[in-house]
Structure formats: structure tokens, C-alpha cells
Amino acid sequence: MYLFEEEFKLHLFGLVIDYPAPAAMALLSGCSEIVLPILLVLGLGTRFAAFGLLAMTGIIQLTIPDGWANFHLPWAAMALALVVWGGGRFSLDCLAVRLGLVPGGRP
């Protein structure tokens, strides 16, 4: 929680702003960093997990604005591709659609 209270700041429109609700932000980001990549590896809820990581990448960009070209752009591109095209035929999403467990077209 110390990082969100003291170290991390949002850089918006030339201003440096404290994170709102640092305890909630620490809990949310910590859980997201663990759960969302696991979902991506399994191919379960791929679009949801990729969108969550895309949102996290945007927030990280606002926190550390100098890392865009080296780190944030490749992460954002990969997450956006998964949001648009999904997990593919070897994902658990696709298996669930094929077995009729969930209605849908493209997993």
C-alpha cells in the first residue's frame, strides 16, 4: 500500500495527482496481476482478461509515462489483439462453445 500512497502518482495533463483510494488500488492491482494472466494462459475469459490487462497497461502508462515505447506499447498491442480476436481454437473459451456450455459464435 505504501507504493500507492507515497511512490506512485498519476501524471494527467501536466499535473501529478495522488491515487484515489490507495488501499483499494493496491488490492485491485495485486489481484489483477495474479488472476488475469492465469486466465489468459488457460484461455478462459480471454477477452475479459485481455481487456483488464489493457486497462492496467493504460493506468501504468499514466503512472510511468516514460516507458511507453519500450514496455507499454507491446503489452497494449498484444492485449488489444486478444480483445479483438479472442483466444483462438485451443482456448477453453472455444472448447466451452463447442461443447455447448455457453451460447455464442466466436470465443
* Best CA proximity match to 25, nearest among 1, 49, 46: 1
Residue 56: the pLDDT is 92
Confidence of residue 1 (pLDDT cuts 50, 70, 90): low
pLDDT tens-digit series, residues 33-65:
999 999 999 999 999 999 999 999 988 888 888
pLDDT tens-digit series, residues 12-29:
888 888 888 888 888 998
Residue 106: the pLDDT is 59
For the chain, give the percent of residues with pLDDT over 90: 42
Say if pTM beats, i.e. exceeds, 0.85. Answer: no
Q: What does the mean pLDDT of the chain come to?
A: 87
Q: Do residues 93 and 46 lie in contact, with contact meaning Cβ atoms separated by under 8 Å?
A: yes
Q: Is the pLDDT of residue 96 over 80?
A: yes
